Amino acid sequence: MPLGPEAFVDHHGMFVEYKYRAYLTRHRRRCAMNVARSLGRHTKTEWLGLVTAAGGVCVLCGVAAVEAKDHIVPLSRGGSDGISNIQPVCQSCNSRKGNR
Protein backbone atom coordinates (compact mmCIF):
# COMPACT_ATOMS: atom_id res chain seq x y z
CA MET A 1 0.00 0.00 0.00
CA PRO A 2 1.34 3.42 -0.88
CA LEU A 3 1.93 5.48 2.22
CA GLY A 4 1.58 8.86 0.62
CA PRO A 5 2.72 11.03 -2.23
CA GLU A 6 6.42 10.76 -1.28
CA ALA A 7 6.79 7.02 -1.19
CA PHE A 8 5.15 3.94 -2.57
CA VAL A 9 5.99 0.28 -2.82
CA ASP A 10 7.31 -1.29 -5.99
CA HIS A 11 6.39 -4.77 -7.11
CA HIS A 12 9.26 -6.28 -5.09
CA GLY A 13 7.75 -4.76 -1.96
CA MET A 14 10.47 -2.11 -1.71
CA PHE A 15 9.84 1.54 -0.99
CA VAL A 16 10.48 3.84 -3.88
CA GLU A 17 10.46 7.59 -3.70
CA TYR A 18 7.81 9.38 -5.68
CA LYS A 19 10.37 11.21 -7.82
CA TYR A 20 11.58 7.85 -9.16
CA ARG A 21 8.18 6.98 -10.53
CA ALA A 22 9.40 7.23 -14.15
CA TYR A 23 12.28 4.93 -13.32
CA LEU A 24 9.89 2.47 -11.73
CA THR A 25 7.74 2.26 -14.84
CA ARG A 26 10.79 1.35 -16.88
CA HIS A 27 12.01 -1.04 -14.22
CA ARG A 28 8.67 -2.83 -14.10
CA ARG A 29 8.67 -3.31 -17.86
CA ARG A 30 12.26 -4.59 -17.90
CA CYS A 31 11.57 -6.84 -14.95
CA ALA A 32 8.48 -8.30 -16.64
CA MET A 33 10.63 -9.07 -19.69
CA ASN A 34 13.22 -10.84 -17.52
CA VAL A 35 10.49 -12.97 -15.94
CA ALA A 36 9.01 -13.70 -19.37
CA ARG A 37 12.41 -14.81 -20.71
CA SER A 38 12.96 -17.06 -17.75
CA LEU A 39 9.66 -18.78 -18.61
CA GLY A 40 10.40 -19.18 -22.29
CA ARG A 41 12.30 -17.65 -25.17
CA HIS A 42 11.93 -17.61 -28.93
CA THR A 43 14.37 -17.28 -31.78
CA LYS A 44 14.14 -15.01 -34.80
CA THR A 45 13.65 -18.13 -36.95
CA GLU A 46 10.64 -19.21 -34.86
CA TRP A 47 9.18 -15.72 -35.14
CA LEU A 48 9.64 -15.62 -38.92
CA GLY A 49 8.05 -19.07 -39.11
CA LEU A 50 5.04 -17.73 -37.25
CA VAL A 51 4.75 -14.74 -39.59
CA THR A 52 5.02 -17.04 -42.62
CA ALA A 53 2.39 -19.39 -41.20
CA ALA A 54 0.04 -16.42 -40.78
CA GLY A 55 0.61 -15.47 -44.42
CA GLY A 56 2.35 -12.28 -43.37
CA VAL A 57 -0.86 -10.68 -42.14
CA CYS A 58 -2.10 -9.78 -38.68
CA VAL A 59 -3.79 -12.74 -36.95
CA LEU A 60 -6.33 -10.45 -35.24
CA CYS A 61 -7.75 -8.46 -38.17
CA GLY A 62 -6.44 -10.70 -40.97
CA VAL A 63 -5.96 -7.67 -43.20
CA ALA A 64 -2.98 -5.50 -42.29
CA ALA A 65 0.64 -6.61 -42.61
CA VAL A 66 2.44 -7.93 -39.55
CA GLU A 67 4.27 -5.14 -37.77
CA ALA A 68 4.49 -6.21 -34.15
CA LYS A 69 4.83 -9.12 -31.75
CA ASP A 70 1.89 -9.51 -29.42
CA HIS A 71 2.15 -11.50 -26.21
CA ILE A 72 -1.08 -13.50 -25.90
CA VAL A 73 -0.75 -13.59 -22.10
CA PRO A 74 0.64 -10.10 -21.35
CA LEU A 75 4.08 -9.94 -19.76
CA SER A 76 2.52 -7.86 -16.98
CA ARG A 77 0.39 -10.89 -16.11
CA GLY A 78 3.30 -13.30 -16.06
CA GLY A 79 3.18 -14.32 -19.71
CA SER A 80 6.14 -16.11 -21.28
CA ASP A 81 8.36 -14.83 -24.09
CA GLY A 82 8.22 -18.31 -25.66
CA ILE A 83 6.93 -18.66 -29.21
CA SER A 84 3.68 -20.27 -28.02
CA ASN A 85 2.75 -17.01 -26.26
CA ILE A 86 3.48 -14.81 -29.26
CA GLN A 87 1.26 -13.89 -32.18
CA PRO A 88 1.99 -11.66 -35.18
CA VAL A 89 -0.21 -8.56 -35.30
CA CYS A 90 -0.37 -5.22 -37.07
CA GLN A 91 0.44 -1.97 -35.31
CA SER A 92 -3.17 -0.85 -34.96
CA CYS A 93 -4.36 -4.14 -33.42
CA ASN A 94 -1.35 -4.11 -31.12
CA SER A 95 -2.06 -0.61 -29.83
CA ARG A 96 -5.80 -1.29 -29.62
CA LYS A 97 -5.02 -4.23 -27.37
CA GLY A 98 -2.70 -2.12 -25.23
CA ASN A 99 -5.46 0.42 -24.66
CA ARG A 100 -7.87 -2.14 -23.27
User: Using CB under 5 A as the criterion, which residues of the chain lie in contact with Zn ion when the complex forms?
Assistant: 58, 60-61, 64, 90, 93
Q: Alpha carbon of 29 to those of 5, 22, 64: distances in Å?
A: 22, 11, 27
Q: How far is the CB of 72 from Zn ion (least distance, A)?
A: 14
Residue nearer to Zn ion on the CB measure, 38 or 95: 95
Q: How far is the CB of 97 from Zn ion (least distance, A)?
A: 9
Q: How far is the CB of 52 from Zn ion (least distance, A)?
A: 17
24 versus 54: smaller Cβ distance to Zn ion: 54
Pairing of strands 7-9, 86-89: unpaired
CB of 15 to Zn ion, least distance (A): 41
Q: Rank residues 32 and 59 by Cβ distance to Zn ion and give the closer one.
A: 59
> Measured from the CB atom, is 36 or 66 closer to Zn ion?
66
